[in-house]
């Protein structure tokens, strides 16, 4: 079963493929075209990965809370780093899972181990981000109740 669905090509496209004129672009044009592919990946993640939707929702909540508390720039930086770390981890985890499903679709204990380790990386990033969020937000919340 292919996780990518019918909207993704099933063949590898070389950079010189004449059927893809956007791959022929040079310099700034090619750089800008690469963003289209990146945003297509983000859109696919948001549509097909429940964990990514959860992380994006948590991002919105954290950003809203940070704005409400008018956090100093240093705390914003810590939160942005934590958010980026978790979203990066989730993205890489999904990429690893999709590649493994493509190259080794049958059940294999070794593939399961690799997927579990990739998921553990996301867990570590999320736990670290939760600690950062506590360090940043607990004093502000505590101030509200004292």
| Closest residue by Cα to residue 51 from 6, 90, 108 | 90
- Convert 93-135 into a string of H (helix), E (strand) and C (coil): HHHHHHHHHHHCCCCCHHHHHHHHHHHHHHHHHHHHHHHHHHH
Q: Is 90 a catalytic residue?
A: yes
> Exactly one of 74, 90, 97, 109 is catalytic; which is it?
90
Residues contacting residue 31 through CB under 8 Å, at least 6 positions apart: none
Conformational region of residue 95, where left means phi above 0, alpha means psi within -120 to 50, and beta covers everything else: alpha
**Can you say how many angstroms the Cα of residue 48 is from the centroid of all Cα atoms in its chain?**
12
Would you name the residues annotated as active-site residues? 90
């Amino acid at each position: 079963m292919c996780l990518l669905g019918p909207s993704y090509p099933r063949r590898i496209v070389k950079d010189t493929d004449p059927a893809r004129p956007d791959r022929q672009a040079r310099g700034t044009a090619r750089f800008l075209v690469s963003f289209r592919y990146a945003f297509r990946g983000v859109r696919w993640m948001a549509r097909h990965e429940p964990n990514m939707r959860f992380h994006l929702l948590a991002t919105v909540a954290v950003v809203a809370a940070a704005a409400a508390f008018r956090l100093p720039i240093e705390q914003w930086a810590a939160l942005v780093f934590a958010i980026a770390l978790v979203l990066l981890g989730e993205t890489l985890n999904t990429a690893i899972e999709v590649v493994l499903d493509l190259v080794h679709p049958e059940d294999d204990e070794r593939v399961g181990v690799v997927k579990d380790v990739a998921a553990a990386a996301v867990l570590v990033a999320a736990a670290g981000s939760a600690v950062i969020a506590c360090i940043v937000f607990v004093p502000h919340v505590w101030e509200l109740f004292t």
